[in-house]
Amino acid sequence: MSTQITQPTQLKPSRPPPPPRKSKARTRLLVFALIFLGLGALWFFVIQPRSGQKPQTAQFGRHAFMNSVMPVGTGVAEKGDIPITLEGLGTVTPLATVTVKTQLNGQLTQIVFTEGQLVKKGDFLAQIDPQIYLAQLEQYQGQLVRDQGLLDDARLDLARYKKLASQDSIAFQQVDTQEATVKQDEGNVLVDQAQIQTVKVDLGYCHIVSPVDGIVGIRQVDQGNYVQTSDANGIVVITQMQPMSVIFTVSEDKISKVVKRLRDGATLPVTAYDRTDTTAIASGTLSTTDNQVDTSTGTVKLRAMFPNDKDELFPQQFVNARLLVDTLKDTIVVPTAAIQLGAPGSYVYVVNSDSTVSVRVVKTGPSDGQRTAIVSGLESGETVVTDGVDRLFDGARVQLPGKQPLNDPPSKPHQGVGRSNGTGSPREHHHNWNGNGNSSGGPQRKPPGASNSEPGS
C-alpha cells in the first residue's frame, strides 16, 4: 500500500487593518474649537467695548444737532390779490385763410402781387386774358339790339291791329297772335340781357382781386400758365393777420366758472405765452366758448382774440394760453416756497420772536406760481421760512437773514444723557427723547436727522 502524505496548506498572511480615523476627526474638532474661541475673544475684548461707546457718541451728535442754529431764508405773510387763472395748450388760428383760385379758364397774363405783401380787400392781384369774353360781350350786345328792334316792330303791329279790330276791320284772332309775338320778342330781349350780364361777370373774374385783408403767401403758379377752375392749389394763399385768434382747451370741470363770468358780462383777459411758457407774447380777451365737450379728451375749446398789431402771433403757432377767470382780493398770501406737504397736510414753519420755528398747519387757496393764498392758519405780518426747511423741526433755532447768529446755551451736550425730561433742544421735548435714542415709555425711535419725520408729529 502506498501511503499518501498530505502536506499542510500554508495560509497567506492578511493585510493589517487600516488605522482608525478618529484621530483626524478629533483634529478637525480641535481646529474649529480654536477658531470659535478666537472669534469669541475678539467680540468680547474688541467689538463689545466699541459698541458700548456708540450710544454716548450718537447721543452727543444728536444733542449737538438739536442745539445748532439753522440759517434760513424767510418771507412775510401779507395781504394781497391772487389771480385765479386757467391754463391750456393753444394754436394760433387766423380768422380767414383764403386760397385765391380762378373762377374761369384762361391764360394768366399778369401777376402784380409780391410774396409776403400786405394787401387790403379788393387789391388787384392777377389778370386772366379777357379777349374771348370781350368778343362774347360784343356778340350778345348785337343780339340784344336785333331782338330789341324786333320787339319794337311787334309792339307797333300790335297797336295797329288793336285799332283795326276795334273797327271790325280784322279778326280778333290776329290781335291775339300779335300779342303772343310781342311776348316772344320780350323774352328774347331778356335772354340777351342776361347773356350780356354773364359775360360782364366773367370779365370781372378775369381781374382777380384780394377777398380779405392779409398777407400774401408763396405764389402757387407763374405768369403765362393756363389756369382752370379745377386747379387745387389755386394762385396764392392769403392769411388774415389782424385780428388773430388763439383756440385753446380747458378741462370740462372748470368750464362752468368761465361760462358764469361771461354771462355776468365780464371781459376775461387772456395772455399767450411761448412754447416754454416763460415769455408773454401777446395779450387779448376771451371771445367765445365751444358748445360741446370733446368726449375723447374731456376738454372744451375756447377762442381768444388778439389785436396782433405787431404780428406777435403767427398762424398755426403753438402757444400756452393763460385765462384770468377772477381775482381773489385782499387775502393772506405767502411765497409758494414756504408751503410744505406732510402727514398733517399743508403746513409752514412760522418764525417766533425768540428765533425758533413752530409748525403751523394751514389751508391753502389759489396760487399764481410765485405766491399762494392762505385761507386759514396764518395772520398778516407773520414770518415764515422759505429756504432751508430740509433740516428744520418744531422748535428748532434758526438764524434769520441779516442777523447775527445766536450763541449756544451754556448746557453741555451730554447733560441730557440718561434723562427723560432734560434741558435738551426743542425737538427733544417735541419727540420726548430720553437721551438714548428711545422715547420714554414708548417704542424705540431713530435719532433726529436719521430720517425725515413729519413736522408737528
Question: In this predicted model, what pLDDT tens digit does every residue of 324-334 receive, in sequence order?
Answer: 999 888 899 99
Least confident of 87-101, 343-357, 439-453: 439-453
Q: Is residue 10 part of a domain?
A: no
Q: For 384-433, how does the pLDDT look when each residue is reduced to its tens digit (9 = 90+)?
A: 999 988 888 889 999 888 776 555 443 333 333 333 333 333 333 333 43
Q: Across all residues in the chain, what is the average pLDDT?
A: 81
pLDDT band at 134 (very low <50, low <70, confident <90, very high): very high
The model's confidence at residue 344, banded by pLDDT at 50, 70 and 90, is: confident
Among 4-8, 230-234, 371-375, 432-436, name the one with the lowest average pLDDT.
432-436
Let me know if residue 127 belongs to a domain: yes
Q: Are residues 131 and 199 in the same domain?
A: yes
Co-location of 419 and 456 in the same domain? yes
Once rounded to an integer, what is the mean pLDDT over residues 93-119? 94
Q: Within this chain, do residues 109 and 202 fall inside the same structural domain, yes or no?
A: yes
pLDDT for 239-255, tens place per residue?
999 999 999 999 999 99
Nearest to 73 by CA among 405, 403, 400: 400
| Of the candidate ranges 49-53, 364-368, 396-400, the one whose mean pLDDT is the lowest | 49-53
Co-location of 273 and 380 in the same domain: no
Is residue 277 predicted with pLDDT exceeding 80? Answer: yes
Residues 135 and 226 in one domain: yes
Domain count, the chain: 4
Residue 347: pLDDT band by 50, 70, 90 thresholds? very high
pLDDT of residue 221: 94
Model confidence band, residue 281 (pLDDT cutoffs 50, 70, 90):
very high
| pLDDT confidence band for 44 (50 / 70 / 90) | confident
pLDDT at 132: 93
Looking at the structure, do residues 145 and 231 belong to the same domain, yes or no? yes
Q: Name the pTM for this structure.
A: 0.61
**Residue 30 has what pLDDT?**
79
**What pLDDT is stored for residue 50 in this prediction?**
59
- Max mean pLDDT among 14-18, 19-23, 280-284 falls in 280-284
Expressed as residue numbers, the domain containing 140 is: 105-235
Instruction: Please compute the mean of the pLDDT values over residues 52-69 and round it to a whole number.
Output: 56
- Residue of higher predicted confidence among 266 and 6: 266
- Quote the pLDDT of residue 417: 32
Report the b/e string of 401-417 with b at 16+ CB within 10 A: eeeeeeeeeeeebeebb
Residue 312 has pLDDT above 90, yes or no: yes
The pLDDT assigned to 51 comes to 55
Task: Note the pLDDT of residue 294.
Answer: 94
Domain of 342: which CATH number? 2.40.420.20
* 225 and 141 in a common domain: yes
- Looking at the domain assignment, is residue 342 inside a domain? yes
Question: What's the pLDDT score for residue 40?
Answer: 77
What is the mean predicted confidence (pLDDT) over 217-231?
94
Judge if 427 and 438 occupy the same domain: yes
